Amino acid sequence: MCVASIAWDAHPHWLLVAIGNRDEYHERPSAPLARWVDGSGIVAGRDLRGCGTWLGLSEAGRFALVTNYRVPEGPQPGRPSRGALVTDLLSGLKPARMAEMNAFNLVYADSSGASFLSNYPEELSLPLDPGVHGLSNGGFENIWPKTRQLNAALANWLQNDLRNAAPLLDALRDEAPFPLDGLPEDGPEPSYSPLFIRDPVYGTRCSTVVAIARSGGGVIIERRFDPEGRNAGETKISFHWPKS
């Protein structure tokens, strides 16, 4: 039940600001945010089961994040890992086998533009207009309440020109559930309606903030959580995108 908000070309100083929570089973092994040592230039966490990632950037000037798309039949076993989409894009490769993967939403950006991709109900690629855009586990145009709340928090941060990641990390930590009458029919179950999901089996594993200035300088921060929702570590990495 991941959720993210992306501000693209929406501020005089910032080219891109992205914030999001990764919700996943706590038993699924993951490596924390780091510069990958394979020479790819990727900066990301790593899913040690699928060997891809859910969100990351390349110091060659690329950014991508993916969320699952909820469908009535649920995810089908044996399909290629959706984390490979992000890894391929960050490596400068065209994603392969998109139609074979379980349903997904994805945002990709580099210094020249940003786009939204999906494979449900069919393959789709749309340019992102300047502004704040949200991703969750539903349709791109079907904004869930918690996605709307996160978009508002990011828009407020930009409007007030805060330049400090703390308010964004605080916004991602909000555990307040939404009322049942505020949830769409195809939205999350009530227990999964908050931005931050505290659950010992399936919950928020990490919060991430990415901020990239128009000059190319940027920072990515990952704050991790244990099954009880307690802080389990934080990593901050600075980087620089090449000028376009």
DSSP 36-105: -TTSS-EEEEEETTTS--SEEEETTTEEEEEEE---TT-PPTTPPPTHHHHHHHHTTPPP--GGGSPPEE
Where in the chain are the domains? Answer: 3-240
Length of the chain: 244
pLDDT tens digit at each of 244 positions of the chain: 699 999 999 999 999 999 999 999 999 999 999 999 988 899 999 999 988 999 999 999 999 999 999 888 888 999 999 999 999 999 999 988 899 999 999 999 998 899 999 999 999 999 999 999 999 988 888 888 999 999 999 999 999 999 999 999 999 999 999 876 666 766 778 888 999 999 999 999 999 999 999 999 999 999 999 999 999 999 999 999 997 6
The overall pTM is greater than 0.85:
yes
Quick check: 167 and 19 in contact, CB under 8 A?
no
Supply the Cα-derived Rg of the chain in whole angstroms: 17
State the Cα–Cα distance between residues 222 and 33, nearest whole angstrom: 6
CATH number for the domain whose boundaries are 3-240:
3.60.60.10
Peptide bond into 121 cis (omega under 30): yes
